[in-house]
Amino acid sequence: MSLLTRYLVREFLRLFFLCLAGGTVLFLVIDLFDRIDRFVRYGGTIKWIFLYFLYKLPFIIYQIIPATMLLSVLLTLGLMVRHNEILALRTNGVPVWRISYPFVIISLLVSISAFLLNELVVPGTYQQSEYIQKVLIKGETPSSLVMRDRIWFNGEEWMYNIVIFFPVKKELHGVMLFKIDRPFKLTRRIDAAKAVWKDQKWVFYDVTERFFQEGRIVQTLFSPEKELVLSETPEDFMHLQRETEEMPFAKLRQYTKKVAAEGYDPTPYLVALHKKIAFPVLNIITVFLGIPFALRLTRYGGLVGAIGISLVLGFLYWVLFAVTISVGQLGYVPPFIAAWSTNMLFAALGIYLLLRVEEQPLN
């Protein structure tokens, strides 16, 4: 490793961990002030509040790493531009790619680390934080559980077994409803290909309804369409989608294959599967976006101007990413395009700007 590379890596990592710590603290403070009233109202103890935020830390870090990467690149190169170090390097024939490649290598390692963090740490710790918040602090009864093959949801009157939930369409696919009377006696079961939320009620399609007595089927009814007035609304199932997205990549891929094999549309899970890789790769793209702005600070109005432009680009990224993910979940574009199109667009923009910096010597 050359002296220049060691210097760039040292300065970047110093600012990276400083920004990461600062961003984490800022996130925690904002989240604390947002939730403290509710925690106090439900009688949450200091112990449970502390453990809630402790278990949520890996999730927070995973979410803010891309912004931290962008800010660290801007600060590292921005300070070097301000101290005329970049000008000295360029004057001595050091090309832009030579200055940039240590940051690209670091971003690649950070992307891999972020992926592993989200795979190995975030699912368990985030679920634990949610358990502390909902059960130990708010006193709620756990209402759902993500099983290996299907999603179970315990409603007020029925127990649901769901293959896929489409939050945008407000549809449930592959639905089984069980009515169980005390003490654990199955009295009724409803199987349906799908259920759609219409006019404040659920409409079930391709329905098979079975009635039980003393453990035996006493009546079976079939109907192509059936309306049911249930206590649960689509909002009650919203967290099911979040929990399935929190599954590790391998488990989610296995679940997606099983859903497809059973004849159901796996589109939401395919989008979530691609998203698990696309989001960590964002750490590399932020470097390609940050380097050209940092190296042209005089043109963009100094360090503040470069950060402002990067924040605008970051906002545009999140808007486009959210839109393409939603469109992909609706099935209007392929899952790969939904998850990766924004990344490809901003990667192309970053590479183009980086090449322009190489072509135009610094003043």
pLDDT tens sequence for the chain (363 residues) = 688 889 999 999 999 999 999 999 999 999 999 888 888 888 878 888 999 999 999 999 999 999 889 888 888 888 888 888 887 888 887 887 888 889 999 999 999 999 999 999 988 888 888 888 877 887 765 554 444 456 788 888 888 988 888 877 888 888 999 988 876 788 899 999 999 999 889 999 999 999 998 878 889 999 999 998 888 888 887 766 666 667 788 888 888 888 788 777 888 889 989 999 999 999 999 888 888 878 776 555 556 665 676 677 778 888 899 899 989 988 889 999 999 999 999 999 888 888 877 666 555
Structure confidence at residue 294 (pLDDT): 80
How many other β-carbons are positioned within 10 Å of the β-carbon of residue 133? 22
Amino acid at 134: K
- Report d(CA 6, CA 328) in Å as an integer: 43
- Is 257 in a helix, a strand, or coil? helix
Q: Are 278 and 343 in contact (CB under 8 A)?
A: yes
Identify the CATH class of 156-231.
mainly beta
Mean of per-residue pLDDT scores for the chain: 84
Structure confidence at residue 13 (pLDDT): 94
Length of the chain in residues, anyone?
363
Q: What is the pLDDT of residues 161-199, one digit of tens each?
A: 888 888 778 888 889 999 888 767 888 999 999 999 998
Structure confidence at residue 146 (pLDDT): 44
Structure confidence at residue 147 (pLDDT): 44
Q: Where in the chain is the domain with CATH 2.60.450.10?
A: 156-231
Q: Are 294 and 306 in contact (CB under 8 A)?
A: yes
Q: Which of 163, 147, 186, 175 is nearest to 232 (CA)?
A: 175
- Report d(CA 174, CA 189) in Å as an integer: 13
State CA 334 to chain mean position distance: 19
CA distances to 249, 252, 268 from 333, rounded to whole Å, are 22, 20, 12
